[in-house]
């Protein structure tokens, strides 16, 4: 690719200062609280940190860092602000339709089906998967491991309570994803909230797992990780995809977000596209590179 035609202008001093403040914030979060964001892609991280500064009226990133260091409970809010954002149930219905029509019939040949949903946030996609499996008659021999590093989000995910105003869009998504019933048959509405039925949760384990630092913990037939890797730098993206490869059985499926790309990840050679448009891949049956994490 062509180099920029014009030399990069020297960044103004305020930009350099902000960069320094950001570096110190990331270090403080890591050393004081053990959350490592140093390999997150900078553009979105910077935006989220600025948002935190604004939301908590800190005035500067340095002031945010000071609060993070001195107020024990503040880290919860910071982690919340830096986490996977809310999702929808059956977001991108075509993807869930493909899972229902193309992937589940193949997974049905396994006596036990393990699914890892990485970066589950508040659980919307984990419950969407549970509904798919239930409707295809596979849920009783399936297990969904829904993981996130944000304990607050996991707690909300376990509760399965969402604003009723979201239900309309989610119902539409559900039908477009090939749903046979009505999404309302899976929840009770009360006041301004819907509560998903407990039975949907029976084969879901919501667990804390950090893609930055934690390792393989299950043998999965399907890994669903949508719109999480977009926040990672290229090396961290590759490390995480390596983790997915090593978790997947041969021929196991990987499902990413609709605009995510594997082009910059060396480990992509170990995946074959099933439906490139829907970002649906399978782990190749033959290993073409080492089977252990070599990037971290």
**Residues binding other proteins (CB under 8 A):** 1-2, 4-6, 9, 11-12, 15, 41-44, 46-48, 85-87, 227, 230-231, 234, 257-261, 263-264
Beta strands in 55-157 (DSSP E): 113-118, 142-148
For 271, the token pair is 């995946």
Task: Give the integer Cα–Cα distance in Å for 215 and 9.
Answer: 42
* Least distance between other proteins and beta carbon 204 (Å): 22
Q: Which of 76, 97, 96 is nearest to 87 (CA)?
A: 96
Q: Which CB, 6 or 286, lies closer to other proteins?
A: 6
d(CA 62, CA 19): 11
Structural contact between residues 269 and 238, judged by C-beta atoms closer than 8 angstroms: no
Nearer to other proteins, 11 or 105 (CB): 11
- Tell me how far, at minimum, the Cβ of 219 lies from other proteins, in Å: 28
Phi, then psi, of 145 in degrees rounded to 5? -95, 110
CB of 274 to other proteins, least distance (A): 19
Q: Which is nearer to other proteins, 125 or 136 (CB)?
A: 125
Nearer to other proteins, 175 or 230 (CB): 230
Please say which residue, 206 or 231, places its beta carbon nearer to other proteins: 231
Q: How far apart are CA 59 and CA 276, in angstroms?
A: 44
| Minimal distance, residue 124 CB to other proteins, in Å | 12
Tokens of 270: 């170990």
Q: How far is the CB of 69 from other proteins (least distance, A)?
A: 25
Burial 24-45 (b: 16+ CB within 10 A, else e): ebbebbeeebebbbebbeeeeb
Q: What count of Cα atoms within 13 Å lies in the side-chain half-sphere of residue 168?
A: 2
Q: Report the residue number, 12 or 111, with the smaller CB distance to other proteins.
A: 12
Straight-line distance from the first to the last Cα atom of the chain, in angstroms, rounded to the nearest whole number: 28
CB closer to other proteins, 259 vs 292: 259
Least distance between other proteins and beta carbon 230 (Å): 5
Considering the complex, what minimum distance in angstroms separates the CB of residue 51 from other proteins?
8
**Distance separating alpha carbons of residues 225 and 214, to the nearest angstrom:** 15
Identify which of residues 47 and 215 has a Cβ nearer to other proteins in the complex: 47
Q: In the complex, what is the shortest distance from the CB of residue 31 to other proteins, in angstroms, rounded to a whole number?
A: 24
Hunting for tokens 């399965």 — which residue is that?
Answer: 160
**Angle, CA of 179, 223 and 47, to the nearest 5°:** 95
3 state SS for 133-154? HHHCCCHHHEEEEEEECCHHHH
């Amino acid at each position: 690719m062509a180099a920029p035609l014009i030399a990069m202008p020297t960044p103004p001093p305020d930009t350099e200062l902000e960069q320094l403040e950001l570096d110190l914030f990331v270090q403080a979060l890591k050393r004081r609280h053990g959350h490592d964001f140093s390999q997150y892609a900078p553009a979105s991280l910077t935006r989220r940190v600025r948002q935190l500064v604004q939301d908590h009226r800190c005035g500067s990133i340095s002031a945010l860092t000071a609060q993070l260091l001195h107020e024990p409970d503040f880290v919860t809010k910071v982690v919340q602000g830096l986490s996977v954002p809310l999702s929808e149930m059956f977001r991108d219905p075509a993807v869930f339709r493909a899972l229902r029509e193309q992937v589940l019939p193949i997974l049905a040949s396994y006596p036990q089906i393990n699914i890892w949903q990485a970066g589950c946030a508040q659980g919307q996609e984990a419950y969407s998967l549970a509904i798919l499996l239930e409707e295809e008659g596979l849920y009783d021999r399936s297990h969904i491991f829904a993981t996130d590093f944000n304990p607050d989000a996991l707690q909300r995910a376990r509760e399965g309570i969402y604003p009723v105003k979201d239900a309309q869009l989610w119902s539409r998504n559900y039908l477009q994803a090939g749903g046979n019933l009505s999404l309302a048959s899976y929840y009770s509405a009360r006041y301004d909230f819907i509560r998903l039925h407990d039975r949907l949760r029976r084969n879901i384990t919501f667990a804390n797992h950090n893609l930055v630092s934690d390792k393989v913990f299950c043998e999965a037939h399907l890994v669903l990780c949508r719109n999480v890797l977009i926040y990672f730098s290229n090396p961290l993206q590759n490390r995480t995809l390596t983790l997915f490869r090593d978790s997947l059985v041969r021929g196991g499926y990987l499902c990413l977000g609709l605009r995510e790309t594997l082009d910059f990840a060396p480990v992509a050679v170990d995946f074959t596209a099933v439906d490139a448009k829907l970002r649906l891949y399978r782990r190749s049956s033959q290993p073409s590179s080492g089977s252990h994490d070599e990037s971290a």
